[in-house]
């Protein structure tokens, strides 16, 4: 695998995983560009591409765990508190994240291969980028800013989790659709982003465990180094991106991301035509 591919994937994933602009859609475009330009190297296989995709996702997982480490510690402590019959704020937050993660886990387990095989093309990315950009714009405009995560109910978490299933469509954006759902339910922008990012932890952790197993089994030491490099780079870029996005959402809305998505979607449709 060429190091250039590793750098590009890590930077693109780190920038796009938590911004509401769709990391999966951008990764489809990156690999599409590699194929279109004939940049594929001889040892590159579909399996190695999948492992690199998972590696950069793991890097972003570590970034969100570090950024919200206080929430994560409270959630882990909350599980132990449940064993003693106490429901702490951390335990409640952990339960909400688990409940919100169930729909995606079920759909992904039973239908991921069918979805991946039928939707991973540039035209789907283009239309999803545009449609869900409009969804993000409308929900951000009509959604009230009244609630924090502490006010979230089980049904609200489940509804946001059901919306997360739409993220299996490349270009929809997992963070974008979950933030849209939270905004529609009246949660503050930073709180919508916070819950969306916490939901990313179980969503990414599963494939990450598979990656760890596959990397330890591969005899290609050089590829193992590339996987670690990809994860490390995406971690650094993602952590900085999260910090800047949360800072931005304290004072402004999602308009820049909406404009970017509309321009990108239009450009892709023009290119396809």
Q: From the CB of residue 213, how many other CB atoms can be counted at a distance below 10 Å?
A: 8
Q: Please name every residue paired with 172 in a beta bridge, in sequence order, or none if there are none.
A: none
- Distance, CA of 176 to CA of 159 (rounded, Å): 15
Give residue 27's pLDDT.
Answer: 76
| Number of domains the chain is built from | 1
Could you read off the pLDDT of 99-153 as tens digits, one per residue? 999 999 898 777 766 666 666 678 888 999 999 999 999 999 998 788 899 989 9
Give residue 44's pLDDT.
Answer: 55
pTM, whole model, 2 decimals?
Answer: 0.87
- Distance, CA of 51 to CA of 53 (rounded, Å): 5
Q: Provide the phi-psi class of 152: left if phi over 0, else alpha when psi is between -120 and 50, else beta.
A: beta
Give residue 60's pLDDT.
Answer: 93
Locate tokens 């688990």: which residue? 98
Q: Let me know if 26 is exposed, middle or buried by CB neighbors in 10 A (0-12, 13-18, 19+).
A: buried
Q: Let me know if 86 is exposed, middle or buried by CB neighbors in 10 A (0-12, 13-18, 19+).
A: exposed
Could you tell me if 238 and 58 are in contact, meaning their C-beta atoms sit under 8 angstroms apart? Answer: no
Structural domain containing residue 184: 3-272
Could you read off the pLDDT of 218-237 as tens digits, one per residue? 555 455 677 888 889 999 99
Residues of the chain whose pLDDT is less than 70? 1-2, 31-49, 112-120, 207-224
């Amino acid at each position: 695998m060429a190091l250039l591919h590793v750098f590009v994937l890590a930077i693109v994933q780190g920038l796009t995983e938590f911004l509401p602009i769709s990391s999966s859609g951008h990764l489809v475009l990156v690999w599409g560009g590699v194929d279109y330009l004939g940049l594929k190297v001889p040892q590159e296989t579909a399996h190695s591409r999948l492992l690199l995709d998972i590696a950069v996702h793991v890097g972003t997982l570590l970034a969100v765990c570090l950024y919200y480490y206080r929430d994560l510690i409270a959630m882990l402590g909350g599980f132990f508190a449940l064993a003693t019959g106490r429901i702490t704020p951390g335990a409640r937050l952990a339960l909400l994240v688990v409940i919100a993660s169930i729909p995606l886990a079920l759909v992904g387990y039973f239908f991921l291969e069918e979805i991946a095989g039928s939707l991973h093309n540039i035209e789907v990315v283009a239309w999803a980028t545009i449609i869900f950009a409009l969804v993000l714009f409308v929900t951000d405009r009509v959604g009230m800013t009244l609630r924090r995560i502490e006010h979230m109910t089980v049904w609200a978490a489940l509804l946001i989790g059901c919306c997360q299933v739409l993220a299996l469509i490349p270009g929809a954006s997992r963070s974008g659709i979950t933030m849209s759902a939270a905004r529609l339910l009246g949660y503050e922008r930073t709180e919508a982003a916070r819950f969306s990012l916490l939901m990313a932890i179980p969503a990414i952790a599963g494939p990450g465990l598979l990656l760890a197993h596959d990397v330890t089994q591969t005899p290609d030491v050089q590829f193992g180094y590339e996987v670690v490099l990809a994860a490390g780079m995406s971690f650094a870029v993602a952590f900085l991106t999260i910090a800047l996005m949360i800072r931005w959402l304290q004072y402004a809305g999602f308009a820049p991301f909406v404009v970017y998505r509309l321009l990108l979607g239009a450009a892709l449709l023009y290119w396809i035509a």
